[in-house]
Structure 1
């Protein structure tokens, strides 16, 4: 058996208090949450289609108004998958410029 100092077979044990462990754990959780928020913001900016709820929030209108606009062909969905309705990013941006 060789004595290799670079081997990962020997675990490193660190002694710490309960408070230190909690602090370290909280730091890791904060990093993960921050990363998730950044990824979520990035994915929203890259989206090409939005759900009814997202569209209503972006346009600051109710779902009823969005439904009425659909009926009056003011803003038509670009896709419907099952019960889910999606509006195109370009159509939403055009509507934002008009208002």
Structure 2
């Protein structure tokens, strides 16, 4: 007795589409991702402070570089509770110097 039921769990669904249809689907996905990235960037720009991860990402440097800059007095973080933050204005000023 063979179990050839087509319940969709073991059998992939293949869909035929034209190149244009595929490109339209791909463009919609890319637009959605770009839109989400823009929303995330806007919310970052509205922040007054950056976490260590955000500052490193924004400046495209490692955590070690941030630490070295702190030791040299180049970019000074501050603490709120146990967390380390960087001033948005100082981070943006540092970006212009690089």
> Normalising to structure 2: TM-score of the pair?
0.57
Across the aligned residues of Structure 1 and Structure 2, the Cα RMSD in angstroms comes to 2.1
Q: CA deviation at 1:48?
A: 1.0
Aligned to 2:42: 42
Gaps in structure 1 of 5+ consecutive residues? 1-29
- Runs (4 or more) in structure 1 with deviation over 6 Å come to none
Does 1:89 find its partner at 2:88?
Answer: yes
Count matched residues.
Answer: 66
Instruction: Identify the residue that residue 55 of structure 1 maps to in structure 2.
Output: 55
CA distance, structure 1, for counterparts of residue 39 and residue 65 of structure 2: 30
Residue by residue, what CA displacement relative to the aligned partner does 1:20-71 show, whole Å, maximum 9, x if unpaired?
A: xxxxxxxxxx9xx87x935433211211110001101111111011011111
Q: How does 1:1-99 map to 2 (within 5 A)?
A: 37=36, 39-77=39-77, 79-99=78-98
Which of the two has higher C-alpha Rg? 1
Task: Give the unaligned 5+ runs of structure 2.
Answer: 1-28
CA distance in 1, matches of 2:93, 2:80: 23
